[in-house]
């Protein structure tokens, strides 16, 4: 009935997109290796930090 009004209050779904969003990846690891990482409290953060430090230039 009021297309201008409907368009002005239209909302997107979910969170706003981040400018530097992370990319989801799948990595196959040996179960024992994964167990050792998961034994750490913040294992995902620690793994990401280590990968960033070791990444080639």
The answer to whether the beta carbons of residues 37 and 43 sit under 8 Å apart is yes
Distance CA 29, CA 35 (A): 10
Distance CA 34, CA 5 (A): 52
The answer to whether the beta carbons of residues 50 and 40 sit under 8 Å apart is no
For the chain, where are the alpha helices, taking DSSP H only? 3-8, 31-38, 43-54
Instruction: Give the pLDDT band (50/70/90) at residue 53.
Output: very high
Express each pLDDT in 4-38 by its tens digit.
Answer: 777 777 777 778 888 888 899 999 999 999 999 99
Q: What pLDDT, on the 0 to 100 scale, is given for residue 43?
A: 95
């Amino acid at each position: 009935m009021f297309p201008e009004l409907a368009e002005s209050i239209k909302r997107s779904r979910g969170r706003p997109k981040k400018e530097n969003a992370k990319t989801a990846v799948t990595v196959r690891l040996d179960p024992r290796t994964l167990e050792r990482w998961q034994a750490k409290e913040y294992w995902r953060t620690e793994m990401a930090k280590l990968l960033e430090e070791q990444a080639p230039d």
